[in-house]
Chain A
Amino acid sequence: MHEMGIAMQIVEIASASIPADIEDVRVERINLKVGKLTAVVPESLRFCFQIVAQETPFCDADLNIEEIPIIAKCNDCNIEWTISEPVFRCQECNSGSVEIISGRELDINSIEIVYEE
């Protein structure tokens, strides 16, 4: 739902990563990690990104989105498991003391650029 604001932030952060001394840069790909527990829909994000990227060095960039599974860890018996249903109790010992160790990412990992020099 808020993919437009996120797309704008991606362009902001990615543009800040381009070294200032490089002119005429074209960004070919932005590599993102998006966790499955975030409220981000990849197709909506791509759609919004296309709009935000118009008339910028990002206009032809491909958004490469790596979807990260939700992995939980029990703080009592230390087992880890992948969550596929909204149940956040340990399957082994039924403890409610559960930590989410992946699945909430919304990160820019890297950008791939092309330029002349």
Chain B
Amino acid sequence: MLISMYKTRQYYHHKDFHKSPHSHPKSGVASGDKKIIAREIKVVRKVLDVNDTIAQQNRELFSEKGVFVLNVMSSPGSGKTAILEKTLSHVMPAIKSAVIVGDICTSNDAVRLAVSGAPVVQVNTDAFGGDCHLAAHVIKTAAGNFDLDDIDLLIVENLGNLVCPAEFDIGEDFRVVILSVTEGEDKPVKYPLMFRVCDAALLNKIDLLPHLDYDRKETVNNILQVHPGMPVFEISAKTEEGFDPWIDWLKSRVSQKINPNVT
């Protein structure tokens, strides 16, 4: 069922700046007996420090609660939602699942996924400056809507974007990238960071291959050139061709985390 939907706010942890009533020092000219000091202050911090800290908190919470978190990324229109609809129908009810869906606006995807019976939270990111990816603090808030004690698998359907989500750790266990046969063969070499940081790739819409001049070998070669050894699952969300290996892979990863003593 669709639990809730809401818009994100930009995350700040400092107070607002106040414009100083005093004039700023000009170089070489001091007022009264004051002198001008120029100093370099070492910072040596990652810009995404705050995000990384929250992601680690998320990771610890999900470990404590025995929740496997899957971050699903792709460009818009690759078929993320359709793949997840079918994936949920395969893994539930044995694997208790929940979903966080990110989109700039609308709850269309969440409504589709809620049909599975899994609890779903829709997040809309149309706050300025935060609209192209899901960040760790957003996942932290959204996950608060679920009873994590009662969940084995939390799927995060990220925004349709092959660039920014690759940079943002959200505390997930595994990441998958989806591309479809209607997107050409060279996505992997155009977006190497995304393909390097993900643990598996799904090549979707293979049911359309008879209608396309598509070289699937070239696509797979491009993926393996950027990320040697990356598992690639060639599937169709529509016909479910190729689904079994993907579902088996996912089930075994979930089981490894939540039942580590079971072989």
Chain B binds chain A: yes
* Alpha-carbon gap, A12 to B229, bound state (A): 39
* Alpha-carbon gap, A37 to B176, bound state (A): 19
Number of A-B contacts (CB under 8 A): 144
Nearest A residue to B230, CB-CB: A96
- Residue pair A112, B38 in contact (C-beta under 8 Å): yes
| Interface status of A71 (Cβ within 8 A of chain B) | no
> Which residues of B are found within 8 Å of A98, using beta-carbon distances?
228
- Residue pair B38, A114 in contact (C-beta under 8 Å): yes
* Alpha-carbon gap, A111 to B45, bound state (A): 11
Nearest A residue to B15, CB-CB: A15
- Residue pair A24, B25 in contact (C-beta under 8 Å): yes
* Alpha-carbon gap, A15 to B14, bound state (A): 9
- Residue pair A112, B40 in contact (C-beta under 8 Å): yes
On chain A, the number of residues with a Cβ less than 8 Å from chain B's Cβ atoms is 49
* Alpha-carbon gap, A28 to B50, bound state (A): 24
Least Cβ–Cβ distance between B232 and chain A, in angstroms = 14
Least Cβ–Cβ distance between B136 and chain A, in angstroms = 13
Nearest B residue to A27, CB-CB: B41
Within 8 A of A (CB), among B216-238: 224-229
> 7 pairs across A/B with beta carbons < 8 Å?
A1-B161, A18-B41, A26-B24, A57-B20, A100-B196, A108-B43, A114-B39
- Residue pair B225, A39 in contact (C-beta under 8 Å): no
> Which residues of B are found within 8 Å of A13, using beta-carbon distances?
43, 45, 47, 49
> Which residues of A are found within 8 Å of B41, using beta-carbon distances?
17-19, 110-113
* Alpha-carbon gap, A98 to B229, bound state (A): 11
- Residue pair A24, B13 in contact (C-beta under 8 Å): no
Least Cβ–Cβ distance between B55 and chain A, in angstroms = 14
5 A-B pairs with least C-beta separation: A96-B228, A4-B129, A86-B192, A116-B34, A86-B189
> Which residues of A are found within 8 Å of B24, using beta-carbon distances?
24, 26
Nearest B residue to A8, CB-CB: B129
Q: A1-B132, A38-B193 are in contact. Are A86 and B225 (CB under 8 A)?
A: yes
- Residue pair B43, A17 in contact (C-beta under 8 Å): yes
Partner-binding segment picked from B56-64, B87-95, B115-123, B162-170:
B162-170
Nearest B residue to A58, CB-CB: B17
Within 8 A of A (CB), among B1-49: 10, 12-14, 17, 19-20, 22-25, 27, 30-31, 34-49
* Alpha-carbon gap, A99 to B218, bound state (A): 24
- Residue pair A88, B129 in contact (C-beta under 8 Å): no
Nearest A residue to B186, CB-CB: A86
Q: A1-B132, A17-B41 are in contact. Are A117 and B228 (CB under 8 A)?
A: no
A18-46 interface mask toward B, CB cutoff 8 Å, 1 = contact, 0 = none? 11000110101000100001110000000
- Residue pair B227, A114 in contact (C-beta under 8 Å): no
- Residue pair A1, B164 in contact (C-beta under 8 Å): yes
- Residue pair B43, A14 in contact (C-beta under 8 Å): yes
